[in-house]
Structure 1
Amino acid sequence: MTQNNVPGMEASAISVLKRAVELDNTSRFQESLICYQEGIQLLLDVLKAVKDDSKKVHYREKIKGYMERAEQIKVHLTREKEEGKYHEQIKIADNATGYSYDRLFRPYISETLTEVWVEDPYIRYVHQLYNFLRFCEMLIKAPCKVRRVHLLTSQDENESSSQQMSALAEIKQSLKQHNVTLDLEYSSTIHDREIRFNNGWIIKIGRGLDYFKKPKGRFSVGYCDYDLRECHETSVDIFHTKHTRTT
């Protein structure tokens, strides 16, 4: 990295670390830890490039402070997980943006993640089926090796039931080409919405995967990029357990 790149890298580091502090202050520790780690790495890259000794001292002090806080959070998270007490809540406001599946779930995805359970009664209509497909696409692109996805949903009893079954069959076949097995199960009594990762994370979203608002048009911003799509108001509760269901 040249001196010309330092201002841009420094601005990126400040932005990421500012976000880390904001998340830290609202007790969203898992997300804040990831931001701290990313920001610290950016500052380390800046430190390698700067020539001014006084700036080097400044960056070293900043890095030390952020590393100490990141380590405190890591210890806290480890203790909470070990004791089965971890609970974090994210409140998504009405019309909020920036909550794509990638943004929401990425902090809880790790290299050890290989199996996912999705319980959501509303994977029926076209937009809901696309939501599930996008969720699966996110898993395929994420830094993990998911090999099996379990979907428990309710079956549409109207004339569109054949569309639901056809779409899910197509998703299943498509996932197979990416070495991911989709297990389908239907229940007429399912009500709760829950997503479980076999690395211990449990994510409960009040509205399930269907928390996005309908775009204003097919050529409106947010139609393709879910980070720009407006959301319905909902709450996301995150828990961690050392024991996850395996059947």
Structure 2
Amino acid sequence: MSMSRAGSSGTAALERAGAETVKRAVQLDVACRFQESLVCYQEGIDLLLQVVKDEAKKHRYRQKISEYMTRAEDIKKHIEKEKQDGKYHKQIRIEENATGFGYEKLFHEYLTEIVSEVWVEDPYIRQVHQAIKGPCKVKTIHLLTSCDEGSRSEQRIALEGIQQSLSNYGVTLSIEFSSSIHDREIRFNNGWMIKIGRGLDYFKKPQGRFSIGYCDLDLRPCHETTVDVFHTKHTKQM
């Protein structure tokens, strides 16, 4: 294959990928799923900008790209206004057996440098893998959960172990138990609140200690659930 034909093939692939991505962006836009739509617009625009470098394609896409850029900027402003007004809402749907949804992916965007305090409410905190990893400036974590009547002592030992480990890094973990808790949510003192339908334990059990996903939660299959992300100026008062 000649270099010119290879280049033409590559441009055609970029053109198809870009067109499909902006088509998806428009569909999400119409459905008012603005956060997802913005991501698709940005990815599609990047792909089409590479196509525009081809002189033969420049005229066809220049106007369209300009329109997509304008719409993406409008969506970005809309999202920022929702954040400022405390009305932001993003929903993530995790399909059955989906992978790539470890805690770091879900929370990293919202654990900004100003986060120093976290509230975790989940009636079923049982597993070690439910601890959040990664360096951050969090100094206090408030955990509200229920007692595991089947193995209460084991649960307390595990939580106290995490409590001691966190204290070694200057993080205070306060633990409270409630028999009536039913909410499943995580709140940060920068205004973000995350609600997970199944709570933090949305991962399926690994097949064994040597199976893919035993240590890396991004590789572990998930149960079907929905994650809702909100932004409010009054997190501590909720």
Give the TM-score band, short-chain normalised.
Answer: 0.7 to 0.9
User: What's the TM-score, normalizing by structure 1?
Assistant: 0.70
Corresponding residue of 2:90: 88
Q: Matched residues in 1 for 2:66 and 2:221: separation?
A: 38
Q: Matched residues in 2 for 1:106 and 1:245: separation?
A: 20
Q: Say whether residues 1:227 and 2:218 are aligned partners.
A: yes
Corresponding residue of 1:242: 233
Q: Secondary structure at the match of 1:208?
A: coil
Q: Matched residues in 2 for 1:65 and 1:115: separation?
A: 42
> Identity, % of aligned pairs?
62
Indicate how the Cα distance of structure 1 residues 202 and 163 shifts in structure 2: closer, same or farther if over 3 A, else same.
same
Indicate how the Cα distance of structure 1 residues 216 and 78 shifts in structure 2: closer, same or farther if over 3 A, else same.
same
- Cα distance, 1:130 vs. partner? 2.5
Q: Matched residues in 1 for 2:38 and 2:172: separation?
A: 32
Q: Is the CA contact 1:34–1:107 (under 8 Å) kept in the aligned structure 2? A: no
Q: Secondary structure at the match of 1:170?
A: helix
Q: 2:153 aligns with which of 150, 159, 162?
A: 162
Q: Is the CA contact 1:108–1:201 (under 8 Å) kept in the aligned structure 2? A: yes
Which has the greater radius of gyration? 2
User: What's the TM-score, normalizing by structure 2?
Assistant: 0.73
Q: Say whether residues 1:171 and 2:162 are aligned partners.
A: yes
CA-to-aligned-CA distance 1:53-110 (integer Å, 9 cap, x gap): 99xxxxx999987865554333111221233322221111111111111111222222
Q: 1:202 aligns with which of 193, 202, 211?
A: 193
Superposed, 1:1-247 pairs within 5 Å as 29-30=34-35, 68=70, 71-124=73-126, 128-131=127-130, 133=131, 136-137=132-133, 140-141=134-135, 144-158=136-150, 160-245=151-236
Q: Matched residues in 1 for 2:168 and 2:41: separation?
A: 36
In structure 1, list runs of 5 or more residues that go unmatched.
Answer: 1-6, 47-51, 55-59
Q: Matched residues in 1 for 2:181 and 2:67: separation?
A: 47
Corresponding residue of 1:49: none
Q: Matched residues in 2 for 1:235 and 1:65: separation?
A: 32
Q: Secondary structure at the match of 1:235?
A: strand
Q: Matched residues in 2 for 1:148 and 1:219: separation?
A: 34
Indicate how the Cα distance of structure 1 residues 151 and 96 shifts in structure 2: closer, same or farther if over 3 A, else same.
same
Indicate how the Cα distance of structure 1 residues 170 and 67 shifts in structure 2: closer, same or farther if over 3 A, else same.
farther
Q: Matched residues in 1 for 2:184 and 2:114: separation?
A: 23
- Cα distance, 1:111 vs. partner? 1.9
Corresponding residue of 2:4: none
Please provide the CA RMSD for this pair: 3.7
What letter is aligned with 2:147? Q
Please identify runs of 4+ aligned residues in structure 1 that moved more than 3 A: 20-41, 60-71
- Cα distance, 1:157 vs. partner? 2.3
